[in-house]
Amino acid sequence: MGADWTAPAQHPSSDAEANLMPGYILVVDDEDAVRTVIAESLRLDGFEVREARNGKEALDSIKADLPDLIITDVLMPQMDGFALCQAIRQMPEPINRLPVILLTALDTPLGRQVGQELGANLYLTKPFSPSALRERVRELLMAAGTPFRERGDRHSNAG
């Protein structure tokens, strides 16, 4: 696996915006098995997860209910992850500041460069470690100021 890069998270800066309702992570991948592994791994860590099979489905989901973070494959039919990231960055605030992770089998310098130029916060390659992905998700959410631990985290000290 090549070196990964991370751009600063850009997310709604207002605490009131972030706390209006429990948020979720949107996982976008056209391969059911990969999408399920990512989603279930995040759910085991207490995150609410929603799924989309391509960039077009993801945009519909984002417009209906803003997620806290997006994890998307790059190589998908109908709308790929690069086009999805570009579309998000061209939308009005606060949508255009959503943290975006590109998780892809495309492990090339050009792929990384395109992802960075389109405004992805993180570029990770497959195969990936689910525990490492969860850690990177937590880091991005913390950098964005998202109170994810208050959103049904199963690892709380209650009871």
The CATH number assigned to the domain holding 87 equals: 3.40.50.2300
57 falls within a domain: yes
Residue with more model confidence, 139 or 11: 139
Domain of residue 37, residue span: 5-12+21-146
155 falls within a domain: no
Residue with more model confidence, 4 or 56: 56
Cβ pair 102, 125 in contact under 8 A: no
Which amino acid type is present at position 68? D
The model's pTM is 0.80
Cβ pair 67, 24 in contact under 8 A: yes
Of the candidates 26, 34, 32, 23, the residue with the CA atom closest to the CA atom of residue 57: 26
121 falls within a domain: yes
Which amino acid type is present at position 16? A
pLDDT of residue 144: 84
pLDDT of residue 3: 40
22 CB contacts (<8 Å, ≥6 apart)?
A: 48, 151, 152
pLDDT digits (tens, 9 = 90+) for 29-56: 999 999 999 999 999 989 999 999 999 9
pLDDT digits (tens, 9 = 90+) for 108-153: 999 999 999 999 999 999 999 999 999 999 999 988 887 654 344 4
pLDDT at 157 over 50: no
54 falls within a domain: yes
153 falls within a domain: no
158 falls within a domain: no
33 falls within a domain: yes
159 falls within a domain: no
pLDDT of residue 145: 81
pLDDT at 77 over 80: yes
Q: What is the mean pLDDT of the chain?
A: 83
pLDDT of residue 7: 46
Which whole number is the average pLDDT over 4-22? 41
